[in-house]
Amino acid sequence: MKQESTAQKAPPASPPPSPPAQHPRDDSDPQALWIFGYGSLVWRPDFAYSDSRVGFVRGYSRRFWQGDTFHRGSDKMPGRVVTLLEDHEGCTWGVAYQVQGEQVSEALKYLNVREAVLGGYDTKEVTFYPQDTPDQPLKALAYVATPQNPGYLGPAPEEAIATQILACRGFSGHNLEYLLRLADFMQLCGPQAQDEHLEAIVDAVGTMLPCFCPTEQALALV
């Protein structure tokens, strides 16, 4: 995944809430679809796409509140992965991928298994602001885990989340790798990209592992 410029840009004012939609389309190309990733999709989309852009969505905060019994955990020891929480003051950074033509159906088929069947996520339409052109927002599809799904774990102290992350592993790897890759992505986005919840969990891991260095650990995993 190519990294975009990290030049700081002032985010636009929060857009009005949009009604949910299953398949938002790119107005400039009715056959295209943008998909917003804010968790493992930022480093491992695993589907074919035509374009990708780093940027953010307004009105949501990222939280490690979804349980994962497949990718980063097990039935006995669920891992912790991220979802989006509606938050009027929130801002979540991630990557939007554009899929076109046959890529659309293939991507949705793949993500339905990865995110919905195995992950417990539903789809939601969001407004995505590219980092380089925030004055040209895009409608995008995002996968969001809500409290209604059986894997939802909900809030917990960052120290407790860190302890759970350190103990869990799934078919996609250790839960700690997931945390560090996401932290590394946020660093690459630049100082304007902030996620206090994520930073607090990384800090908590650091207190539990005295020799732990978040930056070096994360870069070593890329």
**Residue numbers annotated as active site:** 115
Q: How many CB atoms are closer than 10 A to CB 155?
A: 12
- Please identify which residue in the block is written with the tokens 């009005």: 16
Contact 131, 94 (CB under 8 A): no
Q: CA-based Rg of the chain, rounded to a whole angstrom? A: 17
Q: Is 136 helix (H, G, I), strand (E, B) or coil?
A: coil
Rounded to an integer, what distance in angstroms lies between the CA atom of residue 7 and that of residue 130? Answer: 12
Eight-state DSSP code of residue 198: H
Measured CA to CA, the distance from residue 151 to residue 154 in angstroms comes to 9
* SS3 at position 203: helix
Give me 172's structure tokens. 């996609």
Q: How far apart are CA 34 and CA 26, in angstroms?
A: 7
- Among 85, 79, 71, 87, which Cα is nearest to 164's? 79
